[in-house]
Amino acid sequence: MRITLIGGTGHVGTYLVPRLVAAGHDVSVVSRGERDPYHDDAAWEAVETLTLDREAAEERGEFGERILDTDPDAVIDLICFDVESARSLVESLRGEVQQLLHCGTIWVHGPSVAVPTTEDEPRRPFGDYGVQKAEIESYLLDEARRTGFPATVLHPGHISGPGWTPINPQGNLNHDVFERLAAGEEVTLPNLGMETLHHVHADDVAQAFERALDNWSAAVGESFHVVSPKALTLRGYAEAVAGWFGEEANLEFLGWAEWRETVSAEDAEATEDHVRHSPNCSIAKARERLGYEPRYTSERTLKEAVDWLVEEGEIEVPE
């Protein structure tokens, strides 16, 4: 097939493009041209690229037309963040493509209730990102069921791997947490550290998109979780990180109101977002219908990411 990736040089596209090229597809990548893929791969030599600012093109009313110019059989949209953007693209692609695959998020669910959460649980999103993604999912699946538009939605967890900073055991992006765990120093977690994070390796997300393309009849009109086999508690994550460096995690715990005063406002806000969600999602549907089988556990995913941070000198650990 001819496949067009919108936002194809980011986390997921870095792994997805080589997969699609290796499978024999003709691939076009649309991006702003502001960054290269996270890892070099000879497959990129076979890719057609289109430099395009989505927001500006949408304001001119020509984004969908530019995507159609790539003559796609399928479009994978990795960077759609509001329902009007999704609606505009659908109207341009209607009757022109075999499939539109949208990258959503497990945050469409809002706070976890019964876990592991399945795709048919009621949506209770909060925060602009989760709310907008839930609206996009609702719109796309309604179009699929009501008008036959061939939409599929994949909901990744916290996408991680070498090349960028993962969410840490406190639920924020502060590198200092990794350094202290590696040195055996005390790290304080909110509450009892039993809230959860559900990571996924970017290559496993890429795998899911590839399998959704290969299993068209099972994928169209449906949404699927794309996460590792098991979520991690904050405490379990911290213990794993310390263990990678031969240390035993030295953990203390504080109630939320007291704990948030020990970190910056930015870190506290990020942590609050993550612990309020505490995602723990099932991949049974993706396994059964798409054949999705993640290669990476949460621990392996995060170790690759932390090892990369060490190699790049982003975090300092004992010799």
**So where are the chain's domains?**
2-159+199-226, 163-197+230-278+296-311
Per CATH, 2-159+199-226 and 163-197+230-278+296-311 having the same topology is answered no
Half-sphere exposure of 185 (CA within 13 A, CB side): 9
**Cα 52 from Cα 5, distance rounded (Å):** 12
Q: Which option is the CATH number for 2-159+199-226: 3.40.718.10, 3.40.50.360, 3.40.50.720, 2.160.10.10?
A: 3.40.50.720
Cα-only R_g, the chain: 20
The pLDDT assigned to 34 comes to 64
Cα torsion 283, 284, 290, 296: sign = positive
Q: What is the pTM of this model?
A: 0.96
Which residues of the chain, if any, have pLDDT below 50?
Answer: none
Q: Which CATH architecture has domain 163-197+230-278+296-311?
A: Alpha-Beta Complex (3.90)
The reported pLDDT for the residue numbered 319 is 79
